Amino acid sequence: MLTAEIPDNPFRDELATRQTPEPCTLVIFGATGDLTHKLLIPALYNLALDGELPPTLKIVAFARRPKTSAEIRAEYAATNARQSRQGHNDEFWDGFRERIVYHRSEFGDPEGYASLGRLLDELDAARGGPGNRLFYLASAPDNFEEILAHLKQTGLNEGRGGGWARIIVEKPIGKDLASAQRLNNTVAAVFDERNTYRIDHYLGKETAQNIIVTRFANSIFEPLWNRNYIDHIQITCAENFGMTGGRGAYYDKAGALRDMVQNHLLQLLSLIAMEPPTDLSADSVRDEKVKALRALRKFNSVDEVAQNVVRGQYLAGSVDGQAAVGYRDEERVDPQSRTECYVAMRVYIDTWRWQGVPFYIRVGKQLPKKATEISVHFRRAPHVLFQTLPARGRSNVLVFRIQPDEGVSLRMLGKVPGLAMRMEPVKMDFRYATSFGKPSPFAYERLLLDAMAGDATLFARRDEVENAWSFIDPIERAWHESGQPPLMAEYPAGSWGPAEADELLERDGRSWRRI
Ligand code: BG6
């Protein structure tokens, strides 16, 4: 037999051998905010504890409030004790906190950036090696433009001594396509796309990454991954809380569609629906994701939106045995608000693979539990051999549990032991906790490290974000600008959402998976 020489795929081992983060200084704009306190510092602390951070990494906390480094370190220690996934070790913290330097400045003060530049030069000199700088826009989005302009003016958008400068941009990336394009243009005027890292923390979740592994590292799923075998797909992101911690002020302007669907859920959908990339380089993966997003069938009229999208608000009710107020009575929410805190929709992807396969998405606040999952519902067996099939569980369902209880399970029918031919649905279950015996890192841990290593695979590229907005915009327009907005459905807090969302599936002869 002739054996052809097949050249080695240079990306074959990329998943196993991730690139190493390079020594750098991380500058966080908006360092006194919630995101830095609750997510960024604990992520950095956990990475340090696991020995993953470059030992010389320094963190410059840039914010407006007058404060000393000692004060911000103490404040971070207090939140870290509550937020870190590995607890808070005082002795380790004492070493870790030395990495943090507070830099006070208004976001619009040129002198603040000039002195930041001097500080960064000093830190580079103390570390030795090239001046690598990683900037993190964690402030309110209103400040992004000003910060970027100043970084450019002071030349901080370039690395020093052969080093690099990169920017991480937090969500929201705009509130519609036009504003996202404006922000992307502003960023592009200061940083190249290859140095721009748009965070979507769902991509950093272990189980979201596992979608690619399950699909493309195993041979048994991909042949079935199409309209011939898949009946439909459901993506659910349920949360059992409302507007905690004054969140209403932001949320009431955003709503579930912008806050969760445009970014997190469409990212999950693109991972589930994408074609196999030719390799695992950042652009190959993102090229495929963006094709899936581009193929999302857009809604062309108010009627189409009304037929396919349900929006809702929660009324007073009870969640986990606790009384809960209705959305409009939440703190910092307009009592007349028309903002949705629940969305369910049916979408189609117009490709050969997915023609005619509905993707049902639902997301909401004040539902009975916090759980995110994707379920792939296969078509039923074509020929019924058995007379006694159970009413429930006749089709195979592959479930990706994104959180909690991370894992993947496959439902199938099995014979109940005994003399009669009875069947019950059973589950083959893979759980991260038991199979690998170690906890998953926080999404932000993975993403911060990737940005330090220059790996943008798990960050949203400009065209992904903009294509997602092109899909979302017509829905927002139908709701807010048509003059005849489709109904705002209602549901009691603690229930699984409005009846209209159930009807959306019932009309297709299907139902939402019980989580
Ligand atoms: C954020 C949204 O991006 O994601 C929040 O703004 C939401 O409204 C959160 O609660 C959910 O993230 P996670 O990781 O807790 O599922």
CA atoms within 13 A on the CB side of 48: 27
pLDDT attached to residue 167? 98
Closest residue by Cα to residue 132 from 23, 29, 21, 53: 23
pLDDT band, residue 11 (cuts 50/70/90): very low
Ligand 1 atom, smallest distance to 254 CA: 6
Atom of ligand 1 nearest to the CA of 403: 16
The tokens describing 139, both together, are 């402030």
User: How distant, in Å, are the alpha carbons of 69, 246, 332, 357 from that of 351?
Assistant: 54, 42, 43, 10
Domains and their CATH numbers in the chain: 20-170 (3.40.50.720), 203-377+458-506 (3.30.360.10)
Specify whether the CB–CB gap between 327 and 313 falls below 8 A: yes
* Average pLDDT for 401-417: 92
Cα distances from 105 to residues 13, 28, 265, 371, in angstroms, run 44, 12, 36, 40
CA 6 to chain centre: 37
What number of residues does the chain have? 515
For 29-40, the pLDDT digits (tens) are 999 999 999 999
Of the listed 103, 150, 201, 264, which one is catalytic? 264
Task: Give mean pLDDT, residues 301-309.
Answer: 94
Q: Are the C-beta atoms of 196 and 166 separated by less than 8 Å?
A: yes
Nearest CA to ligand 1 atom 6: 259
pLDDT at residue number 485: 61
SS percent in the chain: helix, strand, coil, step 5: 40, 20, 40
Alpha carbon of 365 to ligand 1 centroid (Å): 10
User: Is residue 125 predicted with pLDDT exceeding 50?
Assistant: yes
Instruction: Report the separation in Å between the CA atom of 239 and the middle of ligand 1, taken as the mean of its atom positions.
Output: 9
Q: Name the token pair of 305.
A: 């939106």
52 exposed, middle or buried (CB, 10 Å; 0-12, 13-18, 19+)? middle
Question: Is residue 14 scored above 90 in pLDDT?
Answer: no
Q: How many CB atoms lie within 10 A of CB 86?
A: 13
- Mean pLDDT estimate for the chain: 93
* Alpha carbon separation from 87 to 48, 161, 204 (Å, rounded): 13, 38, 21
d(CA 238, CA 372): 6
Give the per-residue pLDDT at 13. 46
What is the 218 CA–ligand 1 centroid distance (Å)?
A: 30
From the CA of 205, give the closest atom in ligand 1. Answer: 14
Summarize pLDDT for 418-437 with one digit per residue, the tens.
Answer: 998 888 899 999 988 888 87
* 10 or 66, higher pLDDT: 66
Range 99-137 burial, b when 16+ CB lie within 10 A, else e:
bbbbbbbebeeeebbeebbebbeebbeebeebbbbbbbb
Q: Ligand 1: residues within 6 Å at CB?
A: 201, 239, 259-260, 372
**pLDDT at 483 > cutoff 90:** no
State residue 270 phi and psi, 5-degree precision.
-70, -35
- Helices 206-217 & 266-273, crossing angle to 10 degrees? 10
Query: 334 C-alpha vs ligand 1 centroid, how far in Å?
Result: 21
In the 3-class helix/strand/coil scheme, how is 138-184 assigned residue by residue? CCCHHHHHHHHHHHHHCCCCCCECCCCEEEEECCCCCCCHHHHHHHH
Report whether pLDDT(119) > 70. Answer: yes
Count CA atoms closer than 13 A to 100's CA, side-chain side. Answer: 32
244 CA to centre of ligand 1 in angstroms: 12
pLDDT at 484: 67
Nearest CA to ligand 1 atom 13: 202
pTM above 0.85, yes or no: yes
Q: What is the pLDDT of residue 18?
A: 59
Q: Which of 344, 336, 138, 327 is nearest to 247 (CA)?
A: 327
CA 288, distance to chain mean position in Å, is 18
Task: Please determine, for residue 16, whether its predicted confidence score (pLDDT) is greater than 60.
Answer: no
Contacts of 512 (CB under 8 A, 6+ apart): 234, 236, 360, 362, 496, 501, 502, 505
First to last CA, the chain: 52
- Give strand pairing partners of 234: 360, 375
Neighbours of 369 (CB within 10 A): 13
Largest Cα–Cα separation, the chain: 84
pLDDT tens readout for residues 310-369: 999 999 999 999 999 999 999 999 999 999 999 999 999 999 999 999 999 999 999 999
Q: Do the Cβ atoms of 398 and 410 come closer than 8 Å?
A: yes
d(CA 339, CA 346): 20
**Is pLDDT above 50 for 12?**
no
Nearest one of 424, 375, 396, 450 to 197, comparing CA atoms = 450
- Give me the residues paired with residue 430 across strands: 408
Reply yes or no on whether the pLDDT at 120 is more than 50: yes
Q: Is the pLDDT assigned to residue 1 strictly greater than 60?
A: no
Mean pLDDT in residue range 478-487: 76
Mean pLDDT in residue range 109-121:
97
Atom of ligand 1 nearest to the CA of 259: 6
Structure tokens at 73: 């370190």
Nearest CA to ligand 1 atom 10: 239
Give the residue, out of 173, 258, 260, 400, with the most ligand 1 atoms within 8 A of its beta carbon, to mutate for a pocket test. 260
**Where is pLDDT greater, at 405 or 120?**
120
* Per-residue pLDDT tens over the stretch 174-222: 999 999 999 999 999 999 999 999 999 999 999 999 999 999 999 999 9
Q: What are the b/e assignments for 206-239, b being 16+ CB within 10 Å?
A: bbbbbbbebeeeeeeeeeebeeeebbbbbbbbbb
Question: What pLDDT does 7 receive?
Answer: 41
Condensed to tens digits (0 to 9), the pLDDT of residues 219-278 reads 999 999 999 999 999 999 999 999 988 899 999 999 999 999 999 999 999 999 999 999
pLDDT at 17 over 60: no
Give yes or no for residue 15 having a pLDDT over 90.
no
264 labelled catalytic: yes
Share of the chain above pLDDT 70, in %: 96
5, pLDDT greater than 60: no
Would you state the structure tokens that stand for residue 77, as one six-digit string? 């220690």
pLDDT tens profile 148-169 = 999 999 999 999 999 999 999 9
pLDDT of residue 393: 77
Distance, CA of 166 to CA of 193 (rounded, Å):
10
